[in-house]
Structure 1
């Protein structure tokens, strides 16, 4: 029986390998030629399968996809809106045609592209009409202001002695610029679904109920409620407690604690009525022992509302418990409505007479001449305080300039001074030959007053 020699077997094996190699080379060459004009298996353009298609077939498929394109917007509250390709003039992008895209795959070693996924997926194959897309964007339901729920930060609300955390409201207010960007991107790349939450297209609250800021603010503001400020006055008291404090406390959008100064001022205005005596009528016992009612002028207690608001807010922030007296713009000589005290200057404008009492003791007295009634310079009645005192002053007015040795003003430019040009005082001189409003006194009386009276002393004027 015939048997092949070893040499023959070797030649046959080598021949098989040669022809197989030639087959593979031919196959590779054929595939290379084929893929010069056809897309690789698995190729996607804008999510459209173009595997093994030539560029012309791929262009037709892309064009059909543009015509049938619909973008679904997934909105909050299970809302949905559609944007069709025809509404925005969607067409294939001639600057990014399949021929150009295919040229990126024309590599000699095309087989390696099976492991290079970036070489198999292309985007930006569609383009749109900017004006049509803009018009469609503005008519979207999520752009309708009447349907928009604006986001609200978590906040705090007072009730029953403590603060409750009020959960934030997410709302549905969109970031227009960001949403438009993602819609354009989706249209360019043929994406069919755009989830607004996934792309963070909503403007969300900055402060959530589970944040550290909310917890810390709650703890701080509740510590303020522990404050207790007690104002005592002559016939009672007023206590600032948690219920009152809670009415003053507010929060800004970032949950910073604010004091409502207007509400605090209103509280203090009502409180000040128990302290203020400025301008109020008072009972007054004259030097002759007669009880009269006198009011007006600028003397008396007056609470400094603005300054007290600041001090009160500071006391609350410090969580203090204290008895407090309000801050004053000015003070009387004694507590209560009858705050004139026992040291004062008394001027009876009808009798044209002046007395000065120091702690109830008469120190000086004498006749005076006050404002000329017939000329309209009548000296105003009321309770005032001595503003200052100086020697050797020059008094100026309409058609007069006169020097005096002692000048003691108590009501703007009205004051007590010596009048060396007068030889008589008292009686009814003031009716026709009085002063320009000042209280004219003899040199001796003016000197005695100047040497004994203090700035701030009450000056009681009455008719």
Structure 2
């Protein structure tokens, strides 16, 4: 055999062998995936479809669906209870579309597949499990419509409430839809499974009424009650809205008046008890009297209603029928201040403080307690200062040199007919109610006090 022929035979055998190897490897890769291949992030090189499907199914076992309710609870549907399975037949399709003879090129490239599983379950079993959920079996609260009403307490705007009444068919449909996408949790509220109120706060029938009410409530009055602010705005005025027989809204003057009375009771000091640190060195509670702040509600209501009707925005002090001492120190912690007359009716003693300093002190004799002429206790003030007047009563007529009226027919005056002051004189031999004071003391007091000076009397 010639050399040339030998070479041809050897070359043919080599080519045939290579071709057989190529075909053999191609047949192999027609059954398994190429190297450098992944499906859904799982390495599948050299793996057969059935093996890959088993791995993928194992990675997605123990399927559960978390069901979140509007009440904030979460319940769980377990896939094993309704035969939930994954169908990865698309893996077979991927392999069928691959060409086994392209295997040489696949050694030098990366192939990543993403496939979606087909989720399957027993519909009847799933619906049965859904029906058994607590949110489906519990007593449900129906939604409540928004409302706007007006009654004796004024304006009442009630926002709508969703409740927790489920639309059961929608629940089953939405859960199935979520499972079909492979989702593992669902919010029943987010996907619209709850019954909704028909009327909300944004509904025209509510908004129209609200606009009519608020049109009456545009005023804003800020009161300054001796350093304390009280703002009357839309929220407060709404509570004074009433509705007449024709269905028209209006602002009730009576309701506004009652509210002003509440503010007066809160800030007025006339007719109120007070804590006071006495000259005896301890705290006492003073009874009410005629001194202090007193709001003139009858006059103020007219201004307030005018402000509301004209929708004014304003700030001011209320009208007072009584205010404290004109010379009250602005640094005083209360409305008595640092200039006042203090009378201890049990101890029969009087002190006068001027600008915080003791100006004078003296024994006194007050109204006869055992005859019913006892001097009234409380916080009062000097009404007037008169000289050389005659005090008259049913059984007496008595001239005095200095007179300072406190309350009613009770005042501070000199009493030259009396030689003894203090002690127990007031029990049986006191005055008809006045504060009998030694001449020198009452003269000094008269010339060093002003009308309006607070007078504190207590037992």
Q: TM-score, normalised by structure 1?
A: 0.49
Q: TM-score, normalised by structure 2?
A: 0.49
